[in-house]
Amino acid sequence: MESGASSGNERHPEVMEDSWFSQFRNSPNPWMARYVYGLMFLITNLLAWAVRDYGRGALTEMERLQGCKGVRDCLGAEGVLRVSLGCFTFYFIMFLSTAGTSKLHRPRELWHSGWWSAKIILWIALMMLPFLVPTAFIQLYGEIAHFGAGVFLLIQLISIISFIKWLNDCCHSGKYEDRCHIHVMLLATTAYVICIMGIILMYIWYVPEPSCLLNIFFITWTLVLLQLMTSVSLHPKVDEGFLTPGLMGLYVVFLCWCAIRSEPPEDRCNQKAESATKADWLTIISFIVALLAMVIATFSTGIDSKCFQFRKDDTQAEDDVPYGYGFFHFVFATGAMYFSMLLIGWNTHHSIRKWTIDVGWTSTWVRIVNEWLAACVYLWMLVAPIIWKARQTGESA
């Protein structure tokens, strides 16, 4: 990505000499544009959180929101969905207006990289408009957002696995193999040590008594998935080594930990979550880190469009766009649905506590299914080339 950034900067030498504010006002720059879009996305996330935790008093004054049914926190969840709808609409409009852009200095490319005054006005208007929409429509959007958030998780999953495979292929290429051999072994060993330590700590923290069968199942199955991914990767016909299953092991262990952490604080097996009910400094820091991590994940996934191209083309002309604009905005649009699900616990009638994110049984099972899907996709990416090659050999014979 750094090489791409440098080449993109070379295409805008006059822009790099100006100040950041001058670039923003006068000189369209696709590399600067992605950071501006990321900042707008972060501001929207903070707005959704503020509406959820502190905007309930203001929302109850709005006559159109009085039809909200359910628990007392429903207005907070509905406010999050309204902010999410505005954010989704903005990025979906950007997706429709920039999809298929391939060359620099064309009208759609200039719209993506410039026209900031118009886009900021559009963004503000679209953030206000959903608060005038009837509650029934917001509830419908909440149901659709479940699907959109799932699409985002799938895109993020494929992007992470593609990066892991790219890193492994790069380290085992002829150019870097001798130089990276020790680094690969050290990285793989560290990954496996962290995986095992994480599993042991989860048993200690989240299985305080033998009756916590669900947590025992989650943690044990994660260990089984780690062993299965390692065995398949080391199979002679696959021969991918220890690095990719080690890094994937880190990912599935992290997802398992997130899933158990998402269990409701009332559950006796999740004693560590009791502290999440109090707005102490550790809970606040954890919330801020989780929010920033989600924004960074959306940003990094949005610029990684090459792993979704069916035809790989390493050649890039001087006037080609540096990344897929349409894909970038599509990821942010689905990310808008995803952050709404995190803030309401994937349930529009979920009881919401201040300074919490992604808490509830629905959140737990979403994380667990995501973990299992990650292992399945990774295993399929390992065995698919072998199956395809065997099928082609059989047809030729």
Token readout for 15 is 């822009």
Q: What is the pLDDT of residue 27?
A: 57
Token readout for 226 is 């780690």
Number of residues in the chain: 397
Task: Give residues with Cβ within 8 angstroms of 119, minimum separation 6.
Answer: 94
Q: How far apart are CA 218 and CA 370, in angstroms?
A: 12
**pLDDT one-digit tens code per residue, 52-69:** 877 766 665 554 554 555
Q: What is the pLDDT of residue 303?
A: 63
Q: How far apart are CA 194 and CA 200, in angstroms?
A: 10
Q: What is the pLDDT of residue 54?
A: 78
Q: Any idea what DSSP says for residue 308? A: G
Which residues partner with 103 through β-bridges? 320
Q: What is the pLDDT of residue 127?
A: 92
363 residue type, one letter: S
Location of structure tokens 């791409």: 4
Q: How far apart are CA 168 and CA 173, in angstroms?
A: 9
Q: What is the pLDDT of residue 10?
A: 45
126 residue type, one letter: L
Mean pLDDT of the chain: 79
Q: What is the pLDDT of residue 134?
A: 85
Q: In the chain, what percentage of residues exceed pLDDT 70?
A: 75
Q: What is the pLDDT of residue 120?
A: 93
Token readout for 283 is 């809970």
Q: What is the pLDDT of residue 72?
A: 47
pLDDT band at 352 (very low <50, low <70, confident <90, very high): low
- pTM of the prediction? 0.79
Q: Which of 97-111, 123-137, 239-253, 300-314 has the lowest mean pLDDT?
A: 300-314
Q: How far apart are CA 351 and CA 308, in angstroms?
A: 37
